[in-house]
A and B are shown apart, each in its own frame.
Chain A
């Protein structure tokens, strides 16, 4: 069986992202390692405490020679416009989560709304990455 272990999001600033994912979203640091021998490359991962086997890499956009300046700027622009990827999260109480995250200053772009599949909302991280937070409805039983 092939399982999902780690996903990656680009971030503008790793410290800012770390504060957001841990202090606002409430996730845990999974690893935080800086490698001086690799130009201080920092491997920084976080994840929900209820899912210890899944983590998200908060990857800073590198400069040359890893990524040329033009490409780095393109990634930065895409991220700022919200097109650099998305994470889809679920919770069993989206209204409570919305209230909590909102009180911590999280920028919601969609308040919780009824959809056929559940109650759905959307917010952004400080880099502009898009998140959906959904309370999934139990599928109707077909008899």
Chain B
């Protein structure tokens, strides 16, 4: 079956989009496309206007930025969860790309909890005080008079 060169390159690019969080590298992408490394890099750049390395890195940084905005995970966790292993080089590359360190970038947005659009019905239910101060969870077989001395926290 004939498969065009562009389709093979797209397969490699799809792999980046889908599996960016794994320890993918350019060698593996070249293998997925069935090209030699040097040929793959040249052809990828010609087809998509940037190197496969840059495409992979920007995909990871885009995800990292979203996770910084929308989650309360630590920078170290985010670094690992987008497929990068060195927090030092993540911070350097992120800062070069976004003009702010990951921490400063996060601080420039409202906290994730405000962004999360947690619906009111959920907040209402989960936000109810969990300490029982009115004795409603006492054994119902207890005589009613026995709850009269319950201390209510002020």
Contact = CB atoms under 8 A, between A and B. Distances in A.
A66 B126 CA distance: 6
Interface in B114-128: 115-118, 122-123, 125-128
B130 A43 contact: no
Interface string B126-143: 111010100000000000
B130 A35 contact: no
Interface stretch (B46-54, B64-72, B84-92): B64-72
Contact of B115 (A23, A26, A31, A49): A31
A29 to B, nearest CB: 6
A32 B74 CA distance: 11
Given A28-B63, A33-B72, A34-B72, A39 B17 contact: no
Contact of B130 (A30, A33, A45, A65): A65
A41 interface: yes
Nearest to B136: A65
A32 B126 contact: no
Interface string B69-108: 0111100000000000000000000000000000000000
Nearest to B81: A29
A41 B66 CA distance: 21
Interface in A91-122: none
Given A26-B18, A43-B116, A49-B17, A32 B130 contact: no
Given A22-B21, A31-B115, A38-B126, 8 more contacts: A29-B66, A29-B70, A31-B116, A33-B112, A38-B123, A65-B132, A66-B126, A66-B128
A85 interface: no
Nearest to B127: A38
Contacts of B113: 33, 35, 43
Contact of B71 (A29, A38, A66): A29
A41 B5 CA distance: 49
B70 A31 contact: yes
Nearest to B63: A28
A54 to B, nearest CB: 13
Contacts of B67: 29, 32
